[in-house]
Structure 1
Amino acid sequence: MADIPQITVDQVPENAAVLDVREDDEWRAGHIMGVKHIPLAEVPQRLDEIPEADTVYVFCRAGGRSAQATTWLNGNGFNAVNVDGGMKAWDAAGKPMVSEDGSAAAVI
């Protein structure tokens, strides 16, 4: 298996193009404001919605699904990077999140 490019949450550039591949319930509970949400299973059918950028930073809850998405995207012409630890690491680092219903944002 090829090496998957990855970085830590502290290495994600400000204003980066971010793709969140978690499921809808995870997304609603807490996510990074302004990022694109496409559940992992829908990524192949929704390529036209992937943020246009030199690099797309891919998140999931802990890093497994985003690694799969990163591998798939890189095999299909994108420059994608997995964010190690995903939203759990983002939350642990105290980085800002929002929820869809206005409640306190959480990683589920």
Structure 2
Amino acid sequence: MMLQNISIWGILNIVLVVLILGIIGNQLYLWFKGRSVAKLVENEEFKKGMHRGQIIDLREKDNFNAGHIMGARNIPFGQFRVMKNSIRKDMPVYLYDQGKSLSTRIAIKLHKEGYQDIYILKAGFERWDGRIKKSK
């Protein structure tokens, strides 16, 4: 009985290690791929360029309504596939979410669709220090 318990715990530990390595591998892939398809920019660079491009807020509608970057359009991550055709390819695309992980995923998808001029707000909305607007 003790030998069976050890082998079950051993198997569970192996499964846990494999899962953790898979998660780490996925994050590393997103990190490297994201940097090859989009430029991570600080607040100041985002502010300078956003006036010549499209600002896309990938957060959910409630978060967007509570406060968003002035001039941003809300395309929640979960609805992106349906709404992506409203993003123009001939203009720069400025993406942000709460951090930057959703923006990186969307940047990769946009790049696959032929978008070239993609920027991601490095610190996300959480650390945005520019003008914001609240919706009703």
Measured against the shorter chain, the TM-score band is 0.7 to 0.9
User: Are 1:100 and 2:135 an aligned pair?
Assistant: yes
In the alignment, the residues of structure 2 paired with residue 51 and residue 89 of structure 1 have an alpha-carbon distance, to the nearest angstrom, of 27
Q: Is the partner of 2:69 in helix, strand or coil? A: coil
Per the TM alignment, residue 43 of structure 1 is displaced from its structure 2 partner at its CA by 1.3
Check the 8 A contact 2:34/2:107 in 1, yes or no: no
Per the TM alignment, residue 72 of structure 1 is displaced from its structure 2 partner at its CA by 1.2
Per the TM alignment, residue 51 of structure 1 is displaced from its structure 2 partner at its CA by 4.2
Q: Which residue number corresponds to residue 32 of structure 1?
A: 69
Indicate the structure whose relative CO is greater, using CA pairs within 8 Å and at least 6 residues apart.
Answer: 1
Residue type of the alignment partner of 1:10: E
In the alignment, the residues of structure 2 paired with residue 61 and residue 18 of structure 1 have an alpha-carbon distance, to the nearest angstrom, of 14
> Higher helix fraction: Structure 1 or Structure 2?
2
Give the superposed CA RMSD: 1.6
Residue type of the alignment partner of 1:87: F
Q: Which residue number corresponds to residue 82 of structure 1?
A: 120
Q: Which residue number corresponds to residue 9 of structure 1?
A: 43
Check the 8 A contact 1:58/1:66 in 2, yes or no: yes
| Aligned residue pair count | 98
TM-score by length of 1: 0.79
User: Are 1:20 and 2:54 an aligned pair?
Assistant: no
Residue type of the alignment partner of 1:28: N
Identity %: 20
Q: Which residue number corresponds to residue 105 of structure 1?
A: none
Q: Which residue number corresponds to residue 106 of structure 1?
A: none
In the alignment, the residues of structure 1 paired with residue 89 and residue 68 of structure 2 have an alpha-carbon distance, to the nearest angstrom, of 20
In the alignment, the residues of structure 2 paired with residue 42 and residue 18 of structure 1 have an alpha-carbon distance, to the nearest angstrom, of 16
Give the unaligned 5+ runs of structure 2: 1-28
Give the unaligned 5+ runs of structure 1: 102-108
Residue type of the alignment partner of 1:100: S
Q: Which residue number corresponds to residue 47 of structure 1?
A: 84
TM-score by length of 2: 0.65
